[in-house]
Amino acid sequence: MAEPDAPGARGDAAERDAESPASDTELGASGDPESKNVVCMVGAGISTSAGIPDFRSPGTGLYANLQSYHLPYPEAIFEISFFKQHPEPFFALARELYPGQFKPTVCHYFMRLLQEKGLLLRCYTQNIDTLERVAGLDPELLVEAHGTFFTSHCLRPSCRQPYDLQWMKERIFSSLVPKCEKCQSVVKPDIVFFGESLPSRFFTLLQSDFQKVDLLLIMGTSLQVQPFASLVSRVPTNTPRLLINKEKTGQSDTFMSLMGFGCGMDFDSDKAYRDVAWLGECDAGCLALAELLGWKKELEELVRREHAAIDAKTAIDAKTAQGGKGKARGGEGKAQGGEGKTPEDTGERRGGSRDPTP
């Protein structure tokens, strides 16, 4: 998950920005895109329509609804120093947001289409919900900048025993703080907490990706968390940057520029020449872009097909789990029935143990 923005502009401003020619010029409304190396930067805004809350939206955002965890301040739930002392709040929250309970959105499948058409150079995501993987993005084309629930490790430096998604899921849904089977230290999902370094893959790949990129597509992020937000300033000066978001973000900030984190996006000045903002819900923005490309029906069919497959698998898994419970209950009944048998019955089952004479 990441930190997308509060609801932004609508109406005339949204329509004006949505109709900007950058979309069909750079991606090609004919379906023959001029851009061949698209980099996507995404945040929690692309997952909200799946039912996963973002962080910062007033009233509905995650940080606005953590009162029950009795935290010193909302961000503490994702701070590594707090987690090491008090892991319980994080794992309680994880039960509510755990991967596997949500379906990918139109945005996720739009990136899947980019991949299938050979246009996706890389997806850089702030999200930890693994929906990019569920949507079918190749892990090689994915940079999970803020880590993932997909794997976990023991926190003890001398141990670092790895654990998989299923192992962690079983413990979280058993209301247990996951403990290492080797050393009994706390096991943490491989998501990046405040106070931890980003994965080395993030820094390695951005060096080459942001030299090759010929279209930067930014979706559902407030661009407030560094160093992720600074990526928008790493593209070549002639590379178009398209923002699909509830409000404009990533614009120049003098202080952050002096710190070396300047985003420098310019949507409105007389000097603006490459930055375009489509303001509204991310799914709607992706559908609008797909329509310009002639991909809308293809995208809608992909979403329908993939969601149906997920629903079918969920139903099978639920039926299998229910069947397992039924067998367990049946076994208990048989055991209890056996306890009620008479000694004579027991002797009959044992055959030759009974006296054969009348």
Known catalytic residues?
Answer: 146
- What single-letter amino acid sits at 72? P
CB-based burial, 246-281: b 16+ in 10 Å, e otherwise: bbbbbbeeeebeeeeebbbbbbeeeeeebbbbbbbb
